[in-house]
Structure 1
Amino acid sequence: MTPRTAEPVWLGLDVGTQGVRCVATDRTGGTVASGAHPLRGTRDGVRHEQDPRQWWTALSSACRSAMSGVGTRPVRGLALCATSGTILLTDSGLRPVTPGLMYDDARAADEARRVADAGERLWARLGYRPQASWALPTLLWLLDRHGDDDGDGVRLVHQADYLTGRLAGTPTAVDSSHALKAGYDLDTEHWPWDVTDALGIPAAVLPDVVRPGTAIAEVGPDAATETGIPAGTPIIAGMTDGCASVLGSGTFAVGSWNSVLGTTLVLKGVTDHRLHDPLGVVYSHRAPDGNWLPGGASSSGAGVLSELGGPADLDRLTTLAEARPHRPVVTYPLFSRGERFPFVAPEAERFTLGTPADDVDAYAALLRGVACVERLCFDYLDLLGAPTGGTLTTTGGGARNTYWTRLRATLLGRPVTVPHDADPAAGMALLARAHESSLADAAARTARDAHVVDPDPDAADVLTEGYLALVGAWHDRGWLPTELAAHARERSTR
């Protein structure tokens, strides 16, 4: 009797701020096995760094855990997502010359002004304006300080291609999604050489770029030993973590959006055209199927809750907050100085409107604050003319808190769908499967399990009161443009 061939799996790797996750999925997207490993970094004001070698250690550990549950199943491919705009310099052998400067490290403010001036026409055409935390200004900052550290020269490496290079045992191309914040032109699909020349960036510093979903390498023998992933496994170019969440959540239709509530709040949607944003806070990635994925990442999010204790503490606070009515007390929940989306304010800091009665009230004020930022994001997208009436899904660690999700649904005035097993790693596993057919085919084969959280009409007025108070405070501090503040107030009356 011929033995039955084991069903194959595809791996999705997600490198986030606080940890790395690896999932192995079958043809329908069902999770076969998974593994995770934590990360830590260094924050000090606008500085935020991580050790790239720690990324590899954590990735190897997470993959070994997942592979222990895969058994004899063949691995047909993998794709990897990472944080958007996180970069480092390496030598030609992929050895780090610098720490990894994270996506919200904002030390390159002077360099951002140089970038804005050098590429003024390019940024106007692309519809966004690079910020101090973006990879291109950060690259200038790094080159000014480390460009001569190695006689063989240095290379720009994103978090994603550092890790795919370690998996392959040789430097790999980066996907265009991760390259966007380094200035890569998604229209022409080339580096803007006139801009990089004007900025004094040698061409040899910049990596090759491919579209997401392109096969870029195979897992090498050394990485196979460290990770447990079989040598020869195809490595498929991935996307940023926010884009990966869009794929994992099943957000494919124009007008649909996915809100990722992790360490930061990341919003991505689907349009059939590029959005042009005069503030430059909304930027558009290109989806593998040709549509556009506009959105942005705030400096607020669930990261602020880490100050309140561990999971047991947060569960206690949630249970107690759920038993109380909402109040208009609200905290603008920045966990580092400066805001990136839905407005740019490098000087922005956390503040609270009203006086929390106790630790439970202070906790609820933070949850309400994140929901207020999310609502302002949608108000701004509406102001830009983006279609926002499709489905809204939410993923990330914060989406597991049903109390918080209902609060967000109430403030947004719309149902929110919470997919199960639809994190960025699942999105990357889907992209790996799509390499063998198409994204549409892989998505159609994916079985989706989700539940819908409806708004609470009884809490809508008090939550809106807190939101409008926060809009006024942002505007009074000079952070929020008058047009957006007025639009937010006008939409609240509809």
Structure 2
Amino acid sequence: MTTSAHTPTGTDEGVWLGLDIGTQSVRCVAADRTGTVVASAARPLRSHREGRRHEQDPAQWWSALTAACGKTMSTVGSRPVRGLSLCATSGTVLLADTDLRPLTPGLMYDDARAADEAAHAVEVGAELWQALGYRPQASWALPKLLWLLRQHPATAETRLLHQADYLTGKLAGRLTAVDSSHALKTGYDLDGERWPTDVVAALGIPEGVLPEVVRPGTPIGEVCRASADATGIPAGTPIIAGMTDGCAAALGSGTFAVGSWNTVLGTTLVLKGVTDRRLHDPLGVVYSHRAPDGNWLPGGASSVGAGVLSDLFGDSDLDRLTTLASDRPTTTVVTYPLVSRGERFPFVAPDAERFTLGTPKDEVDAYAAVLRGVAFVERLCFDYLDLLGAPVDGTLTTTGGGARNHYWTRVRATALGRPLTVPRDADPAVGMALLARSAESSLAEAAREFVRDTETVEPQNADADVLTEGYLTLVDALHERGWLPTELTDHARNRSTR
């Protein structure tokens, strides 16, 4: 549990709430019009992982949300709450009835049991996926829906709910629309702004199972009396359609200009950038959300990230390991740090597993090898984006829990060969507070008033060559295992010589 509070600048100034439903916690922030966090609180979540299975209990999402909101609101005091918006993990879904009673557990963003259903969806909707520039993966919501419907045949009351619209529905006391950002992995056509009814019908998805979809930033309801009592959020507070956690982090970090990018280093590694056109990816691992201002937000989510640290070093003092690692020379020993089996970005490899190249001398070396591994995968993501023709030379910000580790951020900056900007409080919840505020004006106007306190971490040039050597060693190893396509392998090598 974490809580924090900041001295208010005026007790009658309005605030906007941003809610972030992550893998390990639910966070609620109250921010004023400048983006200053007036109050915040978080409550933990628990997962059940087993092989390709990753589930959470939807009731736990709601109980953690009500507790985090209640604590935040106790600090907000008499300030009026002008609106709220919510982000959640991309591709996390469940089946529920029309009264919001869950019929299944929540299948999380990286649950990969729907491999057969994904192959079927790719085949049935081949023409659509080619036009949209991506195709469903086993961890996406559309194959999961097909899998869930096989286990739980639909009735007239059955509804697919994303993690986001399940919780906005609970806040409103009724079913609400889902935003197009969360609907993307369920097969929503962002060009036509509609469900592709022909593909949906061919897949055997019953009519009425899919929710209404609106653009991010659209009002979708108000907090009902029962939810006001549970959360402390005033009844009647506007609920604004949000975006996925990766998009929310990009908003919170100030990633608005074409060519700018944000990396979220949390349980997993998520990249999101801004382009003026949608990228078309032949591998289907990069997908583009539609930004509220009309630009595109391409990116992807890897299965590597800080979540592996609790698995490998759960009983260790990570601050101590960081201090000791920072005092040692950089080496090429590296761990490919998958949090769970299978990779999603920058390549698709359902059978990919964690491995280490070289032999760590001790726990400190093993820890540093994991940090380098995440940095190298981040570099590989940008190499792939460059291969697709995306502009990648703009500003680069980083958010998430891993970004608070200065040593790790320096390793990443050095591996990437470019500065990394770390904004304070630029987490997904702050991005959602910004989006909630934009419903009263525009995203551009709301963003102009946001004041961001940032730190820039420069590359350490003395370590650049050894990190590049380690990076290329990992690239070759991924290729030799048959996971990394030859074209990307060659591009990564060629780009390292520029």
Q: Of the candidates 178, 185, 190, which is equivalent to residue 181 of structure 1?
A: 185
- Residue number among 191, 201, 213 corresponding to 1:197 in the alignment: 201
Distance of 1:238 and 1:311 partners within structure 2: 36
1:180 deviates by: 0.2
Q: Which residue of 1 aligns with 2:36?
A: 30
Amino acid at match of 1:251: T
Task: Give the AA of the match of 2:107.
Answer: L
Which residue of structure 2 lines up, in the alignment, with residue 92 of structure 1?
98
2:138 corresponds to which of 126, 132, 142: 132
1:371 aligns with 2:371: no
Matched residue SS, 2:67: helix
Query: Is 2:12 the counterpart of 1:6?
Result: yes
Unaligned runs of 5+ in 2: 1-9
Aligned-residue sequence identity (percent) comes to 76
Shift of 1:147: 1.7
Match of residue 427 from structure 2: 423
Task: State the 1:5 CA deviation.
Answer: 7.0
State the SS of the aligned residue for 1:352. Answer: strand
> How far apart are the structure 2 equivalents of 1:335 and 1:432?
32
What residue is the counterpart of 2:413 in the other structure?
A: 409
Instruction: Note if 1:280 corresponds to 2:284.
Output: yes
Quote the residue 1:266 is aligned against. 270
Tell me if structure 2 keeps the 8 A contact 1:90–1:157.
yes
Q: Residues 5 and 265 (structure 1 numbering): CA distance in 2 closer, same or farther, change over 3 Å?
A: closer
Aligned residue for 1:204, secondary structure, equals coil
How does 1:234-273 map onto structure 2 within 5 Å? 234-273=238-277
CA distance in 1, matches of 2:11, 2:269: 42
Q: 2:208 aligns to what SS in structure 1? A: helix
Q: How does 1:91-490 map to 2 (within 5 A)?
A: 91-148=97-154, 151-309=155-313, 313-490=317-494
1:153: Cα distance to partner? 3.0
Q: 1:330·1:352 contact (CA, 8 Å) conserved in 2?
A: yes
Moved over 3 A (4+): 308-312
Instruction: Give TM-score, length-normalised by structure 2.
Output: 0.97
Cα distance in structure 1, aligned partners of 2:349 and 2:313: 28
Deviation at 1:159, TM superposition (A): 0.0
SS at match of 1:341: coil
Q: CA deviation at 1:312?
A: 7.0
What corresponds to 2:496 in structure 1? Answer: 492
Within the candidate set 49, 70, 92, 2:55 is matched to 49
> Matches of 2:142 and 2:52 in 1, distance apart?
17
1:61 is matched with which residue?
A: 67
**CA displacement at 1:310 relative to structure 2:** 5.7
Alpha-carbon distance in 1 for matches of 2:324, 2:417:
24
Deviation at 1:307, TM superposition (A): 2.2
Secondary structure of 1:389 counterpart: coil
Q: Is contact 2:18–2:29 with CA below 8 Å preserved after alignment?
A: yes
The corresponding residue for 2:6 is none
2:65 paired with 1:71:
no
Map Cα deviations across residues 332-391 of structure 1 (whole Å, 9 max, x no partner).
Answer: 000110000000000000000000000000000000000010000000000000000100
CA distance in 1, matches of 2:178, 2:428: 18
**Aligned AA for 1:303?**
G
Residues 308, 314 of structure 1: 8 Å contact kept: no
Q: Is the 8 A contact 1:92 1:152 kept in 2?
A: no
Q: Take 1:64 and 1:383, find their aligned partners in 2: how far apart are those partners? A: 47
Q: Distance in 1 between matches of 2:11 and 2:397?
A: 36
Query: SS of the residue aligned with 1:371?
Result: helix
The equivalent residue for 2:3 is: none
Q: Name the counterpart of 2:5.
A: none
Please give the per-residue CA displacement for 1:4-24, whole angstroms capped at 9, x wherever unaligned: 871110000000000000000
Give the paired residue count: 489
Contact 1:255/1:390, CA 8 A, preserved across alignment = yes
Rounded to whole Å, the distance in 1 between the matches of 2:335 and 2:73 is: 42
The C-alpha deviation readout for 1:297-316, integer Å capped at 9, x for no partner, is 00000000112446971001
User: 2: CA distance between counterparts of 1:229 and 1:127?
Assistant: 40
Give SS of 1:187's match: coil
Q: Quote the Cα distance in structure 2 between the aligned partners of 1:311 and 1:437.
A: 48
Determine the C-alpha separation between the residues in 2 that align with 1:48 and 1:226: 28
CA distance in 2, matches of 1:20, 1:309: 23
Deviations 1:185-215 (A, max 9, x none): 0000000000000001012100000000000
Query: CA–CA distance in 2 between the matches of 1:301 and 1:335?
Result: 6
Over residues 384-406 of structure 1, what are the superposed CA-to-partner deviations in whole Å (9 max), with x where a residue is unaligned? 00000100000000000000000
In 2, distance between residues paired with 1:369 and 1:143? 38
Checking the alignment, whether the CA contact within 8 Å between 1:15 and 1:83 is kept in structure 2 is: yes
CA distance in 1, matches of 2:315, 2:19: 24
Change (3 A) 1:310 1:68: farther
Structure 2: which amino acid aligns with 1:171?
L
Deviation at 1:280, TM superposition (A): 0.3
CA RMSD of aligned residues (A): 1.0
CA distance in 2, matches of 1:160, 1:203: 21
SS in 2 for 1:205: coil
TM (norm. structure 1) is 0.98
Matches of 2:429 and 2:93, distance apart in 1: 20
Q: Is the 8 A contact 1:269 1:295 kept in 2?
A: yes
3-state SS of the aligned residue for 1:339?
Answer: coil
> 1:263–1:303: 8 Å Cα contact kept in structure 2?
yes
2:11–2:78 contact (8 Å) kept in structure 1 = no
The question of whether the paired residues in 2 share the 8 Å contact of 1:176 and 1:186 is answered with yes
- Deviation of 1:59 after TM superposition, in Å, equals 0.4
Counterparts in 2 of 1:111 and 1:415: CA distance versus 1, 3 Å:
same
Which amino acid letter does the alignment assign opposite residue 366 of structure 1? V
Q: Is the 8 A contact 2:331 2:467 kept in 1?
A: yes
Residue type matched to 2:294 in 1?
G
